[in-house]
Chain A
């Protein structure tokens, strides 16, 4: 109780919130200190945009209101950045921590599980938002791409995207058996879906690939992210259909995660 008087200021926040803040600091530190991970996530999305922006030049997409290709790329890579942070990076992070016993050890510390999971989610959100800001700034000032017309719609896509893809990241981590396969498995799934979603080359709406790709959430996040940027006049910034499909994948992933999440290494 002596503690209460000396640290009254800290007690303005509930204990759980203080613990989340504490743990987020170290989640962030771990993320940025792991240079390879940070490069794969943040630097890749920025680098992709810069390289593709350079090679796109003055190319335009005729069937999409004749917009410049780079205009198409900015929301696409914002979506990429979110998916890479929430799905790939989060899944690998969880598998490595689970298999090395770090998760088990945290489970056996007084840090409540809800606090740890909240901190991991907040940290993933921070990494996502850092990329979003970088990509928007590069798009706006590097390639004169217009910023989202509806910031509210944009924020909603970010929210649904970050929450749902984080859930998918947790869900996929539960089926990956060991740390050696975590990187390859998540990357292959992710890049195949990205390709099918037409991130690099816009796909015709009625192509077989696009139809197949429609069953998966990746293309929908890209489309949902396109909407607030309002490529063409008169198009709604609210891509409700795409958001719904993403949210369904997210909800399904939450169910898988709740059933299958493990704290201890698989091999033991």
Chain B
């Protein structure tokens, strides 16, 4: 049974569809990412799964129960961990005090010192929250998310606003938790984050899933076109090449192909026979960013009108 199963989920705010017919499944123990620009519906999806928001339509199961049913919410909340976009930690407490307080909400919490060690805050255990850096606060936030030994952890844009070092340590923490068997539903608008952490991803655009799959094969990037680029050798015309280039500008030649092995073989053979060098020869597959931008393209025209969430 899937840890999360969503089918045909719908949610509107007034007349605007925030989530419009979204379906996906998250398997036990995997890190699943919702990727999309602001306003694509990531947070709305997550809040429905957490049982915080009611839905307008569709079927949702989280850990085998319907989070929209009031009677199930208490049960669910002892089994999930939630980390919000906001660093929502009381600033006057020490790290230990906040964790002790939240530990008291759960039937069998993790030992406080284990959590502190896991999130790498042992040296800061008795420091006030307000004295922590942004990255440390985020790690404490994740510590609060896991204090109840959740089977499922929701991380809503966990590294937004963090510096690169803090992002890396947060990633390490998420990998550790995942390694322990915690299922993670992550939302992000960073491609590198999703690529580094997620086993599978659903790309959202305007409340709809526009692609699903492992980051490496998203949008056919593992199979699709490869682009081969090099500088046109001096004294050679584009028409002399053994292939018709996709694009030729001032100096560079670009060949987009699905058959890169064959094309490269012929191009290099041709260059060796003609005794010319292919300066700057470069073979690139589409990056996740290329795929993402292509998938969510329209969103950029409307970015200004988009709301958070």
* B84 interface neighbour in A3, A19, A105, A111, Cβ under 8 Å: A105
- Majority-rule SS of B interface residues: loop
Contact status B52-A104, CB under 8 Å: yes
Contact status B88-A105, CB under 8 Å: yes
User: How far, in whole Å, are A100 and B87 apart by their CA atoms in the complex?
Assistant: 7
Contact status A107-B93, CB under 8 Å: no
Contact status A265-B86, CB under 8 Å: yes
Is A34 among interface residues, defined by CB-CB distance under 8 A?
Answer: yes
* A3 interface neighbour in B52, B86, B107, Cβ under 8 Å: B107
Is A8 among interface residues, defined by CB-CB distance under 8 A?
Answer: no
* A110 interface neighbour in B43, B78, B86, B93, Cβ under 8 Å: B78
Interface string of A105-136 (1 = CB under 8 A from B): 10111111000000000000000000000000
Interface string of B103-139 (1 = CB under 8 A from A): 0111110000000000000000000000000000000
Is B207 among interface residues, defined by CB-CB distance under 8 A?
Answer: no
User: How far, in whole Å, are A112 and B101 apart by their CA atoms in the complex?
Assistant: 14
Contact status A110-B88, CB under 8 Å: no
* A101 interface neighbour in B77, B88, B101, Cβ under 8 Å: B88
Is B309 among interface residues, defined by CB-CB distance under 8 A?
Answer: yes
A112: B residues at CB distance < 8 A: 74
Known contacts A30-B92, A110-B148; A101/B84 CB under 8 A: yes
Contact status B77-A22, CB under 8 Å: no
* A109 interface neighbour in B43, B77, B86, B87, Cβ under 8 Å: B77
Is A29 among interface residues, defined by CB-CB distance under 8 A?
Answer: yes
User: How far, in whole Å, are A23 and B105 apart by their CA atoms in the complex?
Assistant: 9
User: How far, in whole Å, are A179 and B114 apart by their CA atoms in the complex?
Assistant: 34
B254: A residues at CB distance < 8 A: none
User: How far, in whole Å, are A108 and B52 apart by their CA atoms in the complex?
Assistant: 7
Please, how many residues of chain A have a CB less than 8 angstroms from a CB on the other chain?
Answer: 24
User: How far, in whole Å, are A27 and B261 apart by their CA atoms in the complex?
Assistant: 67
Contact status B52-A19, CB under 8 Å: no
Interface string of A227-244 (1 = CB under 8 A from B): 000000000000000000
A104: B residues at CB distance < 8 A: 52, 84, 86, 88
Interface string of A61-80 (1 = CB under 8 A from B): 00000000000000000000
Is A48 among interface residues, defined by CB-CB distance under 8 A?
Answer: no
Interface string of A41-63 (1 = CB under 8 A from B): 00000000000000000000000
Shortest distance in angstroms between B40's beta carbon and chain A's nearest beta carbon?
Answer: 14
Shortest distance in angstroms between B93's beta carbon and chain A's nearest beta carbon?
Answer: 7
Contact status B74-A3, CB under 8 Å: no
Contact status A108-B309, CB under 8 Å: no
Is A189 among interface residues, defined by CB-CB distance under 8 A?
Answer: no
A residues 1-38 near B (Cβ < 8 Å) are 3, 19, 22-23, 26, 29-30, 33-34
Contact status B93-A3, CB under 8 Å: no
- Nearest residue (CB) in B for A115 is B105
User: How far, in whole Å, are A265 and B80 apart by their CA atoms in the complex?
Assistant: 21
Known contacts A22-B104, A108-B77; A33/B92 CB under 8 A: yes
Is B204 among interface residues, defined by CB-CB distance under 8 A?
Answer: no
User: How far, in whole Å, are A212 and B89 apart by their CA atoms in the complex?
Assistant: 43
Contact status A30-B93, CB under 8 Å: yes
Is A207 among interface residues, defined by CB-CB distance under 8 A?
Answer: no
Contact status A102-B102, CB under 8 Å: no
A23: B residues at CB distance < 8 A: 101, 104
Shortest distance in angstroms between A145's beta carbon and chain B's nearest beta carbon?
Answer: 35
Contact status A268-B90, CB under 8 Å: no
A109: B residues at CB distance < 8 A: 77, 82, 102, 105, 148
B77: A residues at CB distance < 8 A: 108-110
Contact status A101-B82, CB under 8 Å: no
- Nearest residue (CB) in A for B154 is A108
A19: B residues at CB distance < 8 A: 104-105
B308: A residues at CB distance < 8 A: 268
Contact status B108-A3, CB under 8 Å: yes
B50: A residues at CB distance < 8 A: 108
Shortest distance in angstroms between B78's beta carbon and chain A's nearest beta carbon?
Answer: 4
Contact status B101-A108, CB under 8 Å: no
Known contacts A3-B107, A26-B101, A34-B92; A110/B52 CB under 8 A: no
Given known contacts A100-B87, A105-B144, A110-B106, what 19 new A-B pairs fall within 8 Å (CB)? Answer: A19-B104, A23-B101, A26-B97, A26-B101, A30-B90, A30-B92, A33-B92, A34-B92, A100-B86, A101-B84, A101-B86, A102-B88, A105-B88, A108-B50, A108-B51, A108-B84, A109-B148, A110-B78, A264-B52
Task: List the 10 closest A-B pairs by CB distance, nearest first.
Answer: A101-B86, A101-B88, A33-B92, A110-B77, A26-B101, A22-B104, A108-B82, A110-B78, A105-B88, A111-B105
Residues of B in contact with A (beta carbons under 8 Å apart): 43, 50-52, 74, 77-78, 80, 82, 84-90, 92-93, 97, 101-102, 104-108, 144, 148, 308-309
A-B contact pairs, 7 of them (CB 8 A): A101-B85, A102-B90, A108-B51, A109-B102, A109-B105, A110-B74, A265-B86
